Structures are given as structure tokens and as C-alpha cells.
Amino acid sequence: MFIAGRNKKISQRINAAPTHLVMPATLFVIPAKAGISHQKNMTIEYKNTHEFSEQDLKDLFLSVEWSSGHFPDKLVVAMKNFKTVISAWDGDKLVGMICAMDDGIMNAYVHYLLVRPEYQGQSIGKELVERVKEIYKDYLRVVVVAYNEELAFYEHCDFKKADDASPMFITSLWT
């Protein structure tokens, strides 16, 4: 089961065959595929790390106007607590990331997927999702709560929108 939607708001739960599922990551380095070159002829390096500076996280999250970027100290701790964190780097610039948590065997939840606006449309988000799907391929459900505006992106990544479920929150964040 997957959940699909946008990278700013919340969408819905989805059903998908186990062929679209993936498995939990530990603290190992994920080698970058040949790097993705984009319009500026730069190479993107993908890393599995939980260590980030407050400034890198603040800059990335605020670049997509996510309110959690106003709490970089909390984001640093959150990154250390996620089971899976895969980041995309253009040199020393953090340009994207995906974070997931899981129960160790059946269910995984993609909490964050974000790519700086100037790097969007260059397959970075798709590559991050593919890496998470590979990690959780043996799980029975991978869920993402997404913004309605991003449903097409997540559907392109094999997620399906649920007809019978809606996300619900208790939150202090505004995006």
C-alpha cells in the first residue's frame, strides 16, 4: 500500500502490489549511480547520512516553503532519528532528500521528500523515491502523505491514491 500526493500538504492512502515495496536501511553508504547531470552540467551525489548542519536543512526546507525549516535545530535531531535518510548533493549544496521511518518488517512511511525548486524537473525526486523503494522492497506497505498538487509525480513513481482514506493531523506547523 502506498500513499500519494504533494510535497507540501497531505493527500491520501493508496493500495499497491508488493512489487512496489521496499526494505529498511541501516547506516550504510548508498553508492551514487553514475550521477545525474542536469542543465547546469552538475553531478548529483546521493548519500545515506543522518548528519546535517542546521543551515543546510534550513536552506533546503525553506527553499520549498516548508514551515519546518524555521526549526533547523529540531530538523537536525529528526534526521538522526529517521530510519532512512537519503540526500542529494550538488557539491557541498544539499539539493534534495527523502526520509522514511518503518516498523522493521511490514510498514514504511515516507515523511519527507523535497528538492530545491531550481533542481526540480531533473529526476532527483524520482531517483530518491526509487532508492527508498529498493530499500523497502520486501515490506507490505510503503506510505507517503502528499500534497494534491503532486499526485501525478507520486503516481509516476508507482504510488496509488486511496479512495477510502484521508490523512489526519495534530500539528503546530502551517505547511
Read off the pLDDT of residues 32-63 as tens digits, 9 standing for 90 and up. 333 433 345 579 999 999 999 999 999 999 99
Does the pLDDT value for residue 30 go beyond 50? Answer: no
Residues 86-109 have a mean pLDDT of: 97
The answer to whether the beta carbons of residues 113 and 125 sit under 8 Å apart is: yes
- Going by pLDDT thresholds of 50, 70 and 90, the confidence category of residue 138 is very high
Q: Return d(Cα 48, Cα 84) in angstroms, integer.
A: 8
Cβ neighbours around 17 below 10 Å, total: 10
How far is it, in rounded angstroms, from Cα 77 to Cα 92?
A: 20
For 2, the 3-state DSSP assignment is coil
Looking at residue 12, its pLDDT comes to 28
